[in-house]
Amino acid sequence: MSTFVSVGNATQPFDRLINGVISNMHLLPAPIYIQHGNSYFNNKNLDTNTITATKFLNMNQFESKIRECEILILHAGAGSSIHAIKSGKIPIIMPRLSKYGEHVDDHQLELALELDARKLAVILKDFNYLSEAILNLKTIFNLKKINSKSVLFEEIDNLLYKYLNA
């Protein structure tokens, strides 16, 4: 098993996500791959056999990590979330929030709440609840075995239509 963490490519840092992962890495399957973008990342004192970090990934690298890792912890950006869902994964998503200077508004929270409600993702608002989010992820995955990609694509299309026309 392995974990992929991505903050996306926004210009604002998302230190809350990175710090939460580092503080809770004992709960996550290793190796842990982190795409930290413009967030502060200090790998001093971290086992490089457990954690590998890079600032940015190209699309092929990103898609490869999405496919190969079992646990995905992503910022709640539409692109990252949709890539994970189209790959048949249920990501744990943490929205960037404007009150922390992580984004210009709270559109990621709106998307995260909708994906969570549809059981396409598990929302994580606080790393104190990471264990619960992982358990929710396993429960949803076991309950929602999507056998038809057309069902998945229909669900994504409905979600995008609702989100973009809100």
What CATH number is associated with residue 49? 3.40.50.2000
Single pTM value for the model: 0.85
Q: What percent of the chain has pLDDT over 90?
A: 73
CA 120 – CA 93 distance, rounded (Å): 10
Amino acid letter for position 8: G
Q: What percent of the chain has pLDDT over 70?
A: 85
Count the domains in the chain. 1
Report pLDDT digits (tens) over 11-57.
999 999 999 999 999 999 999 999 999 999 988 888 888 999 999 99
Q: Which domain holds residue 64?
A: 3-164
pLDDT band at 166, cuts 50/70/90?
A: low
Mean local confidence (pLDDT), 65-87: 96
| Burial readout 41-60 (b: 16 or more C-beta within 10 A, e: otherwise) | beeeebeeeebebeeebeee
Looking at residue 163, its pLDDT comes to 62
Residue 116 is encoded by which pair of tokens?
């969570």
Looking at residue 146, its pLDDT comes to 47
Angle between helices 107-117 and 78-86 (to 10 degrees): 20
| Radius of gyration over every alpha carbon of the chain, rounded to an integer in angstroms | 15
Mean local confidence (pLDDT), 68-77: 96
Looking at the predicted structure, is the pLDDT value of residue 125 above 70? yes
Looking at the predicted structure, is the pLDDT value of residue 105 above 80? yes
Q: How many angstroms from the chain centroid is the CA of residue 37?
A: 14
Looking at the predicted structure, is the pLDDT value of residue 151 above 60? no
Q: Average pLDDT, whole number, for the chain?
A: 89
Looking at residue 56, its pLDDT comes to 97
